[in-house]
Amino acid sequence: MTGYAAVSEELPLGTLSVEIRSVNHRYLDLQFRLPDEFRTFEPALREQIATRLTRGKVECRIGLAKNPAAQLSMQLNATLLQQLVQLEHAVRAQLPGSAPLSASDVLRWPGMLEADVLPLEQLKEHTQALIERAMGDFSASRAREGEKLSALLLERVARMQQLAQKMQPKIPQLVSAYQDKLIARLREAMTEPEGDRLRQEVVLFASKVDVEEELNRLTTHLAEVRRILDQGGAVGKRLDFLMQELNREANTLGAKSTDMELSQGSVELKVLIEQMREQVQNIE
């Protein structure tokens, strides 16, 4: 299912932002776009989101727009400076004529200047809290779409149930019509219909066109679709399975059909099932 959410928070270091968006996908495909300093706790963030989702191509963007004023708040790395002083004394003891380190040399030394930043653990906690807020908004947007999809599916379920009810009484009519047609053909051939032979032919025809079992299973599957949609939650995979079962029954109905109206009904059922199947692919 599609969804979108974006939230942000002001920190001493700058503005932390989280954006989550998703498009339809049969499985869960989770991708992150985040600054390098967040890479160490990406697995924890991935697990946090994955526990809430089962489907969709999901992209999570995390940004940190640093505050220039915070970046200017610099201080010397006292530990590194002390080590550098000791190393310089050791070098000058061995090489008395060497030039001393200048202030600019010290300031350019890698790691000598430290910015006033949040510790990584605190940054991780802020990020996880922000993701939790974003997931709340994200889930709400998907829930609204889910309600619309549910309404569309229930509309098609109702139409399929109407078709099944319309097809149900056609079978006895077909058998009766076949019997009348068979009697008429035998009489045209100047042959009096034999009771046993006639019954055998009619029974054989009835068994070939009897789709009561398929219609009953179709009705049962449709009732289960309604129950699952009313239940809510992550129902996409169960609905996927039911679409396969519905399609199987519709195919059997079409194969057994000897009547134009039944054939058209079978085709309409397949069209509705295909429409439902496409929508089910979008459901969590």
Query: Residue 74: what pLDDT?
Result: 64
- Residues 52 and 234: beta-carbon distance below 8 Å: no
203-224 pLDDT per residue, tens: 555 555 566 777 888 889 999 9
Query: Residue 201: what pLDDT?
Result: 56
| The model's pTM | 0.57
pLDDT under 50 in the chain at which residues? 72
User: Around 170, how many Cα atoms within 13 Å sit in the side-chain half-sphere?
Assistant: 21
What's the whole-number average pLDDT of the chain? 80
CB atoms within 10 A of CB 83: 11
Domains and their CATH numbers in the chain: 3-69+121-140 (3.30.230), 76-115 (no CATH), 146-280 (1.20.140)
Spatial separation of the C-alpha atoms in residues 230 and 222, rounded to whole Å: 12
All residues at 6 or more sequence positions from 74 whose CB lies less than 8 Å from its CB, including other chains: 113, 114, 115, 116
165-192 pLDDT per residue, tens: 887 766 666 656 655 565 555 555 555 5
Spatial separation of the C-alpha atoms in residues 209 and 227, rounded to whole Å: 30
Task: Name the strand (E) or helix (H) holding 31.
Answer: strand 28-33
Query: Residue 131: what pLDDT?
Result: 94
All residues at 6 or more sequence positions from 6 whose CB lies less than 8 Å from its CB, including other chains: 17, 18, 19, 20, 134, 137
Helices (H), 77-169: 78-94, 103-108, 120-167
Query: Residue 167: what pLDDT?
Result: 78
Query: Residue 183: what pLDDT?
Result: 57
